[in-house]
Amino acid sequence: MNWLLVVEQCLNGLQFGVMLFLMAAGLTLVFGIMNLVNLAHGSLYMVGAYLATAALTWTGSFLVAAVFALAATLVVGMLVEVIALRTLYERDHLDQVLATFGLILFFNEAVAVVWGRAALFTTVPRALAGHITVLPGIRYPAYRAVIILVGLVVALLLYVVISRTRLGMLIRAGASNRTMVAALGVNIRLLYTVVFGFGAALAALGGLMAGPIYTVLPGMGEEILIQVFVVIVIGGIGSIRGALVGAVIVGMVDTLGRAFLKPMLSSVLGPSAADNAGPALASMLIYILMAAVLYFRPQGLFPAVRA
């Protein structure tokens, strides 16, 4: 057993998990506090990636482009919230699913109208294009290591904001009992808009970091959106901690499954059967995981406490 390979794959799983976490955090926050199922979250990820790529072409600086994308997507998110989503809070989840599905169609076409259907050119910034030696024998792409770092920092920041600041307190209170919070004089509408904006910014962060290694094209958010939903369902809706744990678990299971399932099956079933079963099973793995978790804990691993 090549242990170095296993460690490297664990790093890969962690990095993928962190990427999922950035998306999941925003989504679970919005769902937990505003009780809003937002399918268009993947579209905000896409918008973040597009704006970052465009800004990079204008300014040539990855950092500037990143800041711009975050700020701009924050604004876009708040606009969407004010224009389209306000009336949906009282509606049931179905209406929200349909309306946000309509938003997905709109955003996909909108970026196609502005930037065309062809994938945009993106590349990792030169400073991060190299490798770092994590352990003797494991050279890991620097850019991906930065993603892990950024993700963990964001997780820490979110923890601090939610549990140590007034805003965080309002968020937690609003998740528990929004009527009471409104009755106490807090501007709930403003709170919601701000929270949604931050959720959008988190999605944009995921998008702008994913841009250089994935493909920037219309509809890029859909594939990852399903995986993000799996994460928040496993982790527990409304819980940031659940999002982090769920994301890392999903990231690890998916990555390790893709890497090691076929070789493992091969020793049991024989190589040609493993050739067929391996990939099929690997792609189903996170769904099987989710079904298993829901069977034993239908509320997810860390359900947010509701009043």
Binding to other proteins (CB under 8 A): which residues in 14-73?
15-16, 31, 37
Query: Residue 46, CB half-sphere, CA atoms under 13 Å: how many?
Result: 28
User: Which positions ≥6 away from 172 have C-beta within 8 Å?
Assistant: 162, 163
Q: Decide: is 264 part of the binding site for other proteins (CB under 8 A).
A: no
Q: Which is nearer to other proteins, 94 or 307 (CB)?
A: 94
**Alpha carbon distance 180, 168 (integer Å):** 16
Listed ranges 57-65, 148-156, 171-179, 287-295: which one lies at the site for other proteins (CB under 8 A)? 287-295
CA 124 centroid distance within chain: 20
**Alpha carbon distance 112, 263 (integer Å):** 41
Residues 88-117 close enough to bind other proteins by CB under 8 A? 88, 91, 93-95, 97-99, 101-110, 112-113, 116-117
Q: Which is nearer to other proteins, 82 or 105 (CB)?
A: 105
Which value, in Å, is the radius of gyration of the alpha carbons in the chain? 20
**Alpha carbon distance 127, 142 (integer Å):** 9
DSSP for 29-76, written as a single string: HHHHHH----TTHHHHHHHHHHHHHHHHHHH--HHHHHHHHHHHHHHH
One character per residue 173-212, x = contact with other proteins (rule: CB under 8 A):
-------------------------------------x-x
Q: Which is nearer to other proteins, 140 or 170 (CB)?
A: 140
Q: Which is nearer to other proteins, 178 or 262 (CB)?
A: 262
Q: Which is nearer to other proteins, 75 or 279 (CB)?
A: 279
To other proteins, the closest distance from the beta carbon of 158 in angstroms equals 21
Please answer whether residues 95 and 30 qualify as being in contact, where contact means their C-beta atoms are separated by less than 8 angstroms. no
Which residue in the set 79, 137, 279, 305 belongs to the binding site for other proteins (CB under 8 A)? Answer: 279
Specify which residues 140 forms β-bridges with. Answer: 132
Which residue in the set 18, 25, 66, 230 belongs to the binding site for other proteins (CB under 8 A)? Answer: 230
Compute, in degrees rounded to 10, the torsion defined by CA atoms 211, 216, 222, 223.
Answer: -70
Q: Which is nearer to other proteins, 268 or 272 (CB)?
A: 272
